[in-house]
Amino acid sequence: MFAKATHVGFAQRVVATLVASAMVLWSIGLYTTAQAANLTLISDTLSDSDLSVTSGHTIAFTIPTASTLGAASTFTITFPAGFTGVNTVTGGDITVTVNGGAAAQDSLTAVGEVLTLSLDTTANATEEVVVAIADGKITNPGTTGSYEIAVVTPTDTGKTRVAIIDNVLVTAVVETTFNFTITGLATSTAINGTSTTGSTTPTEIPFGVLTAGQIKTLAQRLNVTTNAKNGFVVTVEQDGNLQSSTGADIDGFADGAYDDTPAAWANPSNSLLDENTYGHWGLTTEDGNLQGATDFTAANTWVSASTTPRVVMAHNGPSDGTTFTVDSTGDDVGQTDIGYQIEITPLQEAADDYNTTLTYIATPTF
């Protein structure tokens, strides 16, 4: 038996192919799909990433090429489980910008963990939309972790993440410092409008032999270095009048009145029947700001040395041990000079052992 060759022409093969294709399409249906694009540069910046605290959210995203977010078109922002308070957000809690310009909200609903918004402004391709949610509304989860936030527009989607973590406590210790020194000063040292007539040491103020009608002035320098936040105060007090073993004494300025308001120097009044007027001594300071105590605001003014502490130096913050002013009109931050002045009359009782002890007390306030 022989097979008979059958010749099929090209046109017949084309027709057959089209018929077959039509049958396939008829059986499965012809369809197309529209692929949603990804929002780009999407982020959520928190104002606080700590656990269980309220935080502001600044959610930014860029419309992809060939897409738009039309005016009045709704889009959603969905927070994951763990964030609370989303449903309390109102239009007044949100500000929106499109391409850097303010955009008003057409609508806002907050249900569960989803915000649904529409704007009065169209966001075109490559333009950035920023939705800022004020702090005080949405509370962060109480568990550390990475949390996904989704933004969905009618045509595009995007997801970003935020990290919720414990705050980092930074601690440090600065050791306290406080140094107080007393230095003697030489003859002819300027001191609050006058000058010294002799020299001192850190532990001695030697007036020497006193002559009636002759003023003697001596001084010491005080230096304070501290990192005390609230500064320091230095006071001085005597353990009693300048007194001799005979019981005679040289009283406090002026004429034994123990003045505590600075006043110009005055000579002892030398009243025969009042031994308080035979001689007196006093002190002055070049620190013009005693932080609440009575200031020595004028040159050559004095108060009495006293068994009551007198403030002679003060500052309300850290000091460097060197900064000072040249007179009593300014604040001596770290250094000042204290002057002591004495004068007697011919009636002052004779004795060769007048003495008293001065005590400086320096107190920092940290």
> What's the CA gap between 323 and 223, in Å, rounded?
9
> What's the CA gap between 305 and 288, in Å, rounded?
18
Q: Which residue has the tokens 């809690």?
A: 93
Torsion of CA 99, 101, 102, 103, to 10 degrees: -40
Q: Which residue has the higher pLDDT, 275 or 5?
A: 275
pLDDT of residue 36: 53
Stretch 339-348: mean pLDDT, rounded?
98
Three-state SS at 126: coil
Residue at which a domain ends, from 100, 131, 164: 164
Separation in Å, CA 283 to CA 2, 116, 363: 147, 79, 20
DSSP string, 63-114: PPTT--B-TT-EEEEEPPTT-B-GGG--GGGEEEEETTEEE-EEEEEEETTE
Burial string for 229-258 (b: 16+ CB within 10 Å, else e) reads eebbbbbbebeebbbbeeebbbbbbbbbeb
Residue 69 C-alpha from the chain's centroid? 45
Query: Does residue 98 belong to any structural domain of this protein?
Result: yes
Same domain, 139 and 288: no
Query: Does residue 84 belong to any structural domain of this protein?
Result: yes
Burial-class residue 217 by CB neighbours within 10 Å (0-12, 13-18, 19+). Answer: buried
Same domain, 336 and 187: yes
Which two structure tokens, joined as six digits, stand for 355? 């003495």
Half-sphere exposure of 274 (CA within 13 A, CB side): 13
> What's the CA gap between 234 and 38, in Å, rounded?
72
Q: Is the pLDDT of residue 247 over 60?
A: yes
Same domain, 141 and 52: yes
Same domain, 128 and 277: no
Position 329 confidence tier, pLDDT thresholds 50, 70, 90 = low
> What's the CA gap between 26 and 222, in Å, rounded?
107
Q: Is the pLDDT of residue 188 over 60?
A: yes
Same domain, 208 and 132: no
Quick check: 333 and 319 in contact, CB under 8 A?
A: yes
Same domain, 217 and 112: no
β-pairing verdict for 279-285 and 249-252: parallel
Query: Does residue 27 belong to any structural domain of this protein?
Result: no
Q: Is the pLDDT of residue 22 over 50?
A: no
Average pLDDT, the chain: 90
Q: Which residue has the tokens 């910008």?
A: 97
Element (H, E) at 58: strand 54-62
Residue ranges making up the domain that contains 69: 37-164
Long-range contacts of 105-108 (CB under 8 A, 24+ apart): 106/71, 106/72, 107/74
pLDDT of residue 360: 97
Residue at which a domain ends, from 130, 164, 198: 164
pLDDT of residue 292: 87
Stretch 357-365: mean pLDDT, rounded?
96
Same domain, 184 and 135: no
Same domain, 147 and 266: no
Residue at which a domain ends, from 138, 164, 190: 164
Q: Is the pLDDT of residue 24 over 70?
A: no
Query: Does residue 59 belong to any structural domain of this protein?
Result: yes
Query: Does residue 19 belong to any structural domain of this protein?
Result: no
Query: Does residue 6 belong to any structural domain of this protein?
Result: no
Q: Which residue has the tokens 């050559």?
A: 300
pLDDT of residue 7: 46
Give percent of the chain with pLDDT exceeding 70: 89
pLDDT of residue 31: 33
Q: What is the CATH number of the domain that holds 154?
A: 2.60.40.740
Neighbour count for residue 290 (Cβ, 10 Å)? 22
Same domain, 99 and 230: no
Half-sphere exposure of 68 (CA within 13 A, CB side): 9
Number of domains into which the chain is organized = 2
pLDDT of residue 328: 62
Q: What are 58-75's pLDDT values in tens digits? A: 999 999 999 999 999 999
Q: Is the pLDDT of residue 1 over 80?
A: no
φ/ψ of 56, rounded to 5, equals -80, 155
Query: Does residue 268 belong to any structural domain of this protein?
Result: yes
pLDDT of residue 327: 61
pLDDT of residue 316: 94
Element (H, E) at 52: none
pLDDT of residue 301: 95
Q: Which residue has the higher pLDDT, 9 or 183?
A: 183
Query: Does residue 17 belong to any structural domain of this protein?
Result: no
Same domain, 153 and 215: no
Q: What are 114-169's pLDDT values in tens digits? A: 999 999 999 999 999 999 999 999 999 999 999 999 999 999 999 999 999 999 88
Q: Which residue has the tokens 């090209």?
A: 10
Long-range contacts of 210-217 (CB under 8 A, 24+ apart): 210/279, 210/342, 210/344, 210/348, 211/344, 212/344, 212/345, 212/346, 212/348, 213/267, 213/343, 213/345, 214/343, 215/265, 215/341, 215/342, 215/343, 216/341, 216/342, 216/343, 217/191, 217/339, 217/340, 217/341
Q: Is the pLDDT of residue 20 over 50?
A: no
Same domain, 46 and 143: yes
Same domain, 147 and 89: yes
